[in-house]
Amino acid sequence: MSNIKLEQYKIFKEAAFTLSFSQAARNLYITQSAVSQTITLLEKELDTSLFIRHRKGVTLTKEGEMLYHKISQALSLITNAENELSSYKQLTSGELTIGAGDSLCEHYLIPYLVSFREHYPQVHIKVINGTTSETIKLLKSGTIDLAFVNMPLNDPSIQVKSCYQVHDIFVSGTKDLHTYSYEEIAKENLILLETLSNSRNFVDNYFSKHGILLKPAMELGAYSLLLKFAHNKLGISCVIKEFSTEALKNEQVYALDVQPPLPARSIGYASLKTAALSAAALKFIALIEE
């Protein structure tokens, strides 16, 4: 495969993933006209239409979907070969790209990112925020090296390893000595994360196993807001104990006594089973597992 053809397919893959020529251009740091010209030339060379153009974007044709699937696999194999070669070298350059949610970054990853930067200052670190489902999508597309996710995660193409245990608790802005059953806490003015998050799904599924459907009064997209809303007595928030230690210590919020306590769950790092990890990713994992 010539360098020119390889670049064409990289541009096609980005356009197919984003379904937007303008977004693909921004991601690749080239002009939108360069993306359009490349796709047009590729369609002419292959004698087939790969995209259906719309006013607000593009969609893949059946042929485009097939090519995207095959090209993604081919480019992944090339990347794997390059990563295997680079693993034999010292980390004097390169990039580490990680996907994780805001709360995981703030309360878990930052010390490891700082340590990695101190050990390997010439490696560029990039962090992309997103929910577990969003980071897994980025992982499958090859956009990130590692995804830090809330477990459990069941995907046959992904390998995930637990690295940190957490506990879900309910907190309020006022001290409350009452012991709550699951039925009682479910009747309170609850504030939970949006259903897109694995943390929320874990709590929902656990209560569901006890025959209880949680109907929160509010659903929030940012973890930090859960503590702020509870502190301001807007309701009872479900938070992660390990990520709320400062707020609990300073009595900004108070943990409620819910019996029995919810079981521990894990934070894990995920990677593609079919992809070889880069040397940078392997070094970052080594820091976490020390």
Task: Please give the share of the chain, as a percent, with pLDDT higher than 90.
Answer: 70
Span 116-141, average pLDDT: 89
How confident is the model at residue 88, as a pLDDT? 46
Q: Hey, which residues does 238 pair with through a beta bridge? A: 170
In Å, how far are 16, 38, 39, 110 from 32, measured between CA atoms?
14, 10, 11, 35
Burial of 159 (0-12, 13-18, 19+ CB in 10 A): middle
Average predicted confidence (pLDDT) for the chain: 90
How confident is the model at residue 211, as a pLDDT? 96
Higher model confidence: residue 264 or residue 274? Answer: 264
Q: What is the SS3 string spanning the chain?
A: CCHHHHHHHHHHHHHHHHCCHHHHHHHHCCCHHHHHHHHHHHHHHHCCCCEEEECCEEEECHHHHHHHHHHHHHHHHHHHHHHHHHCCCCCCCCEEEEEECHHHHHHHHHHHHHHHHHHCCCCEEEEEECCHHHHHHHHHHCCCCEEEEECCCCCCCEEEEEEEEECEEEEECCCCCCEECHHHHHCCCEEEECCCCHHHHHHHHHHHHCCCCCCCCEEECCHHHHHHHHHCCCCEEEEEHHHCHHHHHCCCCEECEECCCCCCEEEEEEEECCCCCCHHHHHHHHHHHC
Lowest mean pLDDT, pick from 88-97, 144-153, 259-268: 88-97
Higher model confidence: residue 81 or residue 270? Answer: 270
- pLDDT single digits (tens) 172-191: 999 999 999 999 999 999 99
pTM: 0.66
Question: How many other C-beta atoms can be found within 10 angstroms of the C-beta atom of residue 83?
Answer: 19
Span 81-109, average pLDDT: 78
- pLDDT single digits (tens) 207-233: 999 999 999 999 998 888 999 999 999
Question: How many other C-beta atoms can be found within 10 angstroms of the C-beta atom of residue 229?
Answer: 18
CA 132 – CA 239 distance, rounded (Å):
17
How confident is the model at residue 224, as a pLDDT? 87
**Does the pLDDT of residue 87 top 80, yes or no?**
no
- pLDDT single digits (tens) 39-69: 999 999 999 999 999 888 899 999 999 999 9
Span 17-38, average pLDDT: 92
Span 77-104, average pLDDT: 77
How confident is the model at residue 182, as a pLDDT? 97
Res. 18 pLDDT band, cuts 50 70 90: very high
User: Which of 99, 114, 120 has its CA nearest to residue 268?
Assistant: 99
How confident is the model at residue 5, as a pLDDT? 84
* 289 Cα distance to chain centroid: 20
**Does the pLDDT of residue 86 top 70, yes or no?**
no
**Does the pLDDT of residue 170 top 70, yes or no?**
yes
Q: Hey, which residues does 96 pair with through a beta bridge? A: 125
**Does the pLDDT of residue 4 top 80, yes or no?**
no
How confident is the model at residue 85, as a pLDDT? 65
* 92 Cα distance to chain centroid: 27
Contact 15, 24 (CB under 8 A): yes
Res. 78 pLDDT band, cuts 50 70 90: confident
